[in-house]
Structure 1
Amino acid sequence: MAMRGIGKKRANQTARARRRPGRPGGAGHTEAVREALLRAARELFAQRDFRAVSVRGIAARAKVNPALVHYHFGDKRGLYRAMLQQTLGPVLQRAQAFSESGSEPDLRELVGNIMRVLAQEPWVPRLIVREVLAEEGAFRDIFAREFAAKGGGRLPAILARERERGVVRQDLDLTLTALSIMSMTLFPFVAQPVVEQVFGLRIDDAFARRLAEHTVRLLFEGAGPRPRGGKRK
């Protein structure tokens, strides 16, 4: 019996030694677990700021072991970054393609994509207000470097290509034009409670499509009356 106990103990020690560092045992290392953690993080970060949300709280919401947060993302900050990347990544990749590829940029598509994400993921505008714009925002530098610079930061290059095509006027300051586009694109969603109360608008997918079309038309046609016979040039 004693020898059997020693053999079992050695087998357990060997199994633990073979296990990768930081990797909890069991069958929890699946994409489903990772998605559950991201979903739980979105729900909690939409309600509270970064410092008020704990790893244990996220794991409890996802119904998994807290060690899995560290295994999949390293730490809470890594999970936060992955959460943003999952949501904003496709839009940023499209912006990069427009600014670098030989294809014609499509500002209507780009602006529409950004607005649809903001309408479908209302936690993103709240995150921007709480963690980026606030004086002690925990993610200001990361958001500016890894997301804003790759999205809005590429707009001047996209506008430069539009200028070459004759779509954008030669006398426009492209940096200020990019800033104007970012302002018109983001503000209605960042200020959603005020916008809905003051203007009686409902911020949803239909609104995002309507606003994207309006923003592009306002940019390229202006607010003045059209000349007789058609659109502004």
Structure 2
Amino acid sequence: MPVKKPVGRPAVKADNRCALINAAKTLFVDNDYDKVSIRAIAAKAKVDASLIRYYFQSKLGLFAEMLKETIEPVHAQLNNSKEKSTQDSPEKILLAFYKIMSQNPDFPKLIFRTASLKTTKKNQELQANLLSLFPKNRLTIFEKMHQQNRLQQGIDPMCAKMSFISLMVFPFLMPDIFKQALNIKTSAEFLQHLAKQNAQILRHGLIANESQLSQDA
């Protein structure tokens, strides 16, 4: 007597979801959203394509979850700094960003490419998912530090925010032609070294030191 297959959701291994996230990350970084098919993601992950609907409902759902999970460690540090800002909060955010992105060095290019898409209904859906990860109140740390006199005298908090974002993001967006001209090789080891140096620039260029804080007290 033939054995009946169980009805309902497909039986899956615990690591199938992770495999889909990793496959999506690789394919979306290397290709435009429209060029990546559900079948290609499933093939890359070596799982059945039905699991994308099972876990994420759609390709867009997978894309959104892939973005969210990749930058979650940075969000955790942002949330921690939002609740309790200290002198080294910007450094911790920067170091967290470099740590995760040194493992995914092309991921910021995906974020930039998605943010720069032409305005269409489909692209607006992609951008809405992206913007949901970066609400305006996420990076208010410099305004708070300014109010607490934790920035050096004469530092504009908005300019400080722009300098911070530049230090954090530009190394990952720098065109390869410029890297080659300047003989820069952005290996994971180099990026970790750069993170520490940029943290020093933040500390000495923007943040008030202890003696300045005591004078302002």
Higher relative contact order (CA 8 A, sep 6+): 2
Instruction: Tell me whether 1:31 sits opposite 2:18 in the alignment.
Output: no
The reply on whether 1:205 has 2:188 as its aligned counterpart is yes
Q: How far did 1:171 drift?
A: 4.1
2:193 is aligned with 1:193: no
Q: Does 1:147 align with 2:133?
A: yes
Q: Distance in 2 between matches of 1:196 and 1:128?
A: 20
Residue type matched to 2:184 in 1?
L
Q: Which amino acid aligns with 1:142?
A: N
How many angstroms does 1:192 deviate by? 4.5
The correspondence for 1:106, drawn from 73, 89, 99, is 89
Work out which of the two has the higher radius of gyration on C-alpha atoms and give 1 or 2. 1
User: What TM-score results when the alignment is normalised by the length of structure 1?
Assistant: 0.74
Structure 2 residue 163 is the aligned partner of structure 1 residue 176: no
Any idea what SS the aligned residue of 2:152 has?
coil
Shift of 1:48: 0.9
Name the SS for the 1:31 alignment partner.
Answer: coil
Equivalent position SS for 1:141: helix
1:153-199 deviations in whole A, cap 9, x for unaligned?
Answer: 5333x224433554303543322321221122111101251342132
How many aligned residue pairs are there?
205
Give 3-state SS (helix, strand or coil) of 1:120's partner. coil
Partner of 2:197: 214
Structure 2 residue 101 is matched with structure 1 residue 118: yes
Please, what TM-score do these two structures have when normalized by structure 2? 0.79
**How far does the alpha carbon of each residue in 1:109-144 deviate from its partner, in whole angstroms, 9 at most, with x for none?**
211111222221023122123222243583333212
Q: 1:71 aligns with which of 54, 68, 85?
A: 54
SS in 1 for 2:134: helix
1:97 to 75, 80, 89: 80
Question: In structure 2, what residue type is equivalent to 1:178?
Answer: K
SS in structure 2 at match of 1:147: coil
Question: Match of 1:148, SS?
Answer: coil
- Structure 1 regions of 5+ residues with no counterpart? 224-231
Change (3 A) 1:209 1:164: farther
Q: 1:115, 1:208 within 8 Å by CA — same for their partners in 2?
A: yes
Task: Sort the Cα spacing of 1:89 and 1:140 in 2 relative to 1 into closer, same or farther, 3 A.
Answer: same
Q: CA RMSD in A?
A: 3.0
Cα contact 1:163–1:170 (8 A) shared by 2: no
Q: Per the alignment, do residues 176 and 211 of structure 1 end up closer, same or farther by CA in structure 2, a change over 3 Å counting?
A: same
Q: Structure 2: how far apart are the matches of 1:149 and 1:38?
A: 23
Partner of 2:215: none
- Which amino acid is the alignment partner of residue 149 of structure 1? P
CA distance in 2, matches of 1:63, 1:181: 40
8 Å CA contact 1:105–1:162 kept in 2: the answer is: no
* Local SS of the residue matching 2:39: helix
8 Å CA contact retained: 1:105, 1:161: no
Structure 1 stretch displaced more, 70-79 or 127-136? 127-136
